[in-house]
């Protein structure tokens, strides 16, 4: 097999938002761009409200506005102007000078107005982290400088793993610091020379975990008859409880439709209006729930997720009802194959909760797993599920087998790595 290594870094940290200011100096600038467009409506609304409060923009019902109304408009206007100004004109700069051993962080409106000087010598590694998003925000990957004594300095954060990894790798190579990839269930440290080689050597030379045996029961099936490893995970079986919304919707529609027909007849409602109204209710209360149940049943019958691993590439496939979506990753594009177990995720959540309360619990006292807070966190941890196999690549972040038991997940991870070595 040919070794087509692809270096993860170049000699200069060129990926945006890094800018080279000199042989030993780089700058990271944040702000502007799309944020400015989001801020313009706030700024315009603030100016309008402020002018209205000052009486520059008159209202047709001016006499009906109470005396405190103009003051309220002015306060709201100033609030909107503040938010809009920060989004439109706010900027932040981080300048790292490796020769002087300094870090300069600046903030201001279009130009630096406030500066903080920090020492680069207090940090000795670059760390790429993972922060889970929610319904309103995406997952992010902060890039931090860390040092002894728990010193942490956040440099930048992005929502694209591939771009964030390249930025972190370039920064680590520029500073000649090791890069700690802490985005998955197991941290991995890459030295600058590994970042320069990248691709196959850095991925395949990683030490594997101790061997584990095959679990007695597995949701997934393993096939190696074609010469490569194929792991197939069928969709979860259809449960009859999923049909409850459709059944309830049908019963409610049948119950109210007769009363509605009588009401329409008494009120002499046109037949066309009656039909449109009843059909609309039928679609919303019966049709959509039945369609959802049908899709769930068909997906449980025909759907699956599949991972095919060989020495040259890894392919991820997912079948829905009618189509199969696939993603092929060359081995040289793979940064790492990690996994996140339920136990590891619970420990991470518990550590984060302890850090949030500062090692103490409400009402004082040292945090303890036997305390009320500790027991609550242990109970809440029962609802945590695994993230599955995590494939980190220069093309993005992919997962496979989320929700599998820990023993099966560990075994599958071992099989995949052995198939690709």
Higher pLDDT, 178 or 374: 178
Is 262 a member of any domain?
Answer: yes
- Helices marked H in 283-341 — which ranges? 288-302
Q: Measured between alpha carbons, how far is 13 from 15 in angstroms, rounded to an integer?
A: 6
Confidence (pLDDT) at 403: 86
pLDDT for 136 beyond 90 = no
Tokens of 159: 């929502």
Q: State the number of CA atoms in the 13 A half-sphere of 39 facing the CB.
A: 18
Q: In whole numbers, what is the pLDDT of the chain averaged over residues?
A: 83
Q: How confident is the model at residue 327 (pLDDT cuts 50, 70, 90)?
A: very high
Confidence (pLDDT) at 229: 93
Phi and psi angles of residue 27, each rounded to the nearest 5 degrees, phi first: -130, 140
In the beta sheet, which residues pair with residue 1?
none
Between 17-21, 311-315, 362-366, the lowest mean confidence (pLDDT) is in: 362-366
Of the candidates 139, 145, 102, 108, the one whose C-alpha atom is nearest the C-alpha of residue 125 is 145
pLDDT (mean) for 334-353: 77
Is 291 a member of any domain?
Answer: yes
Is 215 a member of any domain?
Answer: no
> What is the maximum alpha-carbon separation in the chain?
89
Confidence (pLDDT) at 270: 87
Q: How confident is the model at residue 137 (pLDDT cuts 50, 70, 90)?
A: confident
Stated pTM of the model: 0.76
Confidence (pLDDT) at 240: 87
Between 12-16, 166-170, 257-261, 403-407, the lowest mean confidence (pLDDT) is in: 12-16
pLDDT for 200 beyond 60 = no
b vs e for 33-59, b when ≥16 Cβ sit within 10 Å of the residue's Cβ?
A: eeeeeebeebbebbeebbebbeeeeee
By the 8 A CB rule, do 38 and 233 touch? Answer: no
Confidence (pLDDT) at 325: 92
Confidence (pLDDT) at 202: 47
Q: How confident is the model at residue 355 (pLDDT cuts 50, 70, 90)?
A: low
Confidence (pLDDT) at 380: 67
CA distances from 310 to 91, 306, 329 (A): 47, 13, 11
pLDDT for 204 beyond 60 = no
Is 263 a member of any domain?
Answer: yes
Confidence (pLDDT) at 377: 65
In the beta sheet, which residues pair with residue 125?
146
pLDDT (mean) for 160-176: 90
Q: Measured between alpha carbons, how far is 327 from 318 in angstroms, rounded to an integer?
A: 9
Q: Measured between alpha carbons, how far is 182 from 189 in angstroms, rounded to an integer?
A: 9
pLDDT for 364 beyond 60 = no
Tokens of 2: 């040919």
Query: Beta 396-400 vs 388-393: how paired, if at all?
Result: antiparallel
The DSSP code for 244 is: H
Is 18 a member of any domain?
Answer: no
pLDDT in tens, 278-295: 899 999 999 999 999 999
Between 62-76, 140-154, 315-329, the lowest mean confidence (pLDDT) is in: 62-76
pLDDT (mean) for 223-227: 86
Is 288 a member of any domain?
Answer: yes
pLDDT (mean) for 325-338: 90
pLDDT for 155 beyond 60 = yes
Q: How confident is the model at residue 97 (pLDDT cuts 50, 70, 90)?
A: very high
Higher pLDDT, 404 or 206: 404
Confidence (pLDDT) at 6: 56
pLDDT for 3 beyond 50 = no
Q: Measured between alpha carbons, how far is 209 from 222 in angstroms, rounded to an integer?
A: 20
- In degrees, rounded to 5, the angle at the alpha carbon of residue 135 between the alpha carbons of residues 134 and 141 is 40
Is 285 a member of any domain?
Answer: yes
Is 275 a member of any domain?
Answer: yes
In the chain, how many domains are there?
1
Q: How confident is the model at residue 199 (pLDDT cuts 50, 70, 90)?
A: low
pLDDT for 339 beyond 60 = yes
Beta strands in 272-385, from DSSP E residues, in sequence order: 304-309, 313-319, 324-330, 334-340
pLDDT (mean) for 113-124: 89
Give the range of the structural domain holding residue 256, as residue numbers without chain letter: 240-302
Confidence (pLDDT) at 366: 55
């Amino acid at each position: 097999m040919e070794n087509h290594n692809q270096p993860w870094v170049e000699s200069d940290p060129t990926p945006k938002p890094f800018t080279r200011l000199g042989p030993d100096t780089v700058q990271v600038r944040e702000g502007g761009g799309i944020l400015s467009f989001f801020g313009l409506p706030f700024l315009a609304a603030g100016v309008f409200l402020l002018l209205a409060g000052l009486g520059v923009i008159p209202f047709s019902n001016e006499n009906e506005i109470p005396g405190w109304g103009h003051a309220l408009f002015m306060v709201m206007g100033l609030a909107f102007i503040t938010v809009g100004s920060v989004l439109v004109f706010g900027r932040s700069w981080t300048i790292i000078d490796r020769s002087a051993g300094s870090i300069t962080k600046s903030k201001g409106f279009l130009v630096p107005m406030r500066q903080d000087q920090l020492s680069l010598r207090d940090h000795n590694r670059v760390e790429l982290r993972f922060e889970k998003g929610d319904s309103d925000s995406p997952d992010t990957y902060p890039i931090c400088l860390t040092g002894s004594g728990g010193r942490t300095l956040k440099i930048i954060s992005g929502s694209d793993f591939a771009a964030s990894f390249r930025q972190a790798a370039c920064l680590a190579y520029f500073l000649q610091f090791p890069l700690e990839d802490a985005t998955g269930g197991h941290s991995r440290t890459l030295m600058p020379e590994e970042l320069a080689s990248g691709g196959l050597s850095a991925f395949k030379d990683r030490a594997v975990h101790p061997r584990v045996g095959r679990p007695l029961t597995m949701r997934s099936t393993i096939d190696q008859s074609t010469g490569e490893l194929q792991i197939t995970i069928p969709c979860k079986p259809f449960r009859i409880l999923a049909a409850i919304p459709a059944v309830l919707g049908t019963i409610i529609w049948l119950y109210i439709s007769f009363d509605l027909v009588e009401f329409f007849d008494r009120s002499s409602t046109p037949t066309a209006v009656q039909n449109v109204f009843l059909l609309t209710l039928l679609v919303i209360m019966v049709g959509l729930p039945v369609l959802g149940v049908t899709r769930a049943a068909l997906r449980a019958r025909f759907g699956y997720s599949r991972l095919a691993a060989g020495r040259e590439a890894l392919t991820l496939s997912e079948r829905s009802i009618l189509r199969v979506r696939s993603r092929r990753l060359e081995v040289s594009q793979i940064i790492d194959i990690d996994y996140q177990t339920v136990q590891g995720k619970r420990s991470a959540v518990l550590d984060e909760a302890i850090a949030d309360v500062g090692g103490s619990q409400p009402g004082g006292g040292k945090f303890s797993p036997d305390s009320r807070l500790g027991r609550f966190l242990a109970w809440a941890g029962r609802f945590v599920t695994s993230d599955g196999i995590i494939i980190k690549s220069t093309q993005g972040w992919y997962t496979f087998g989320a929700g599998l038991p820990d023993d099966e997940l560990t075994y599958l991870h071992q099989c995949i790595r052995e198939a690709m070595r």
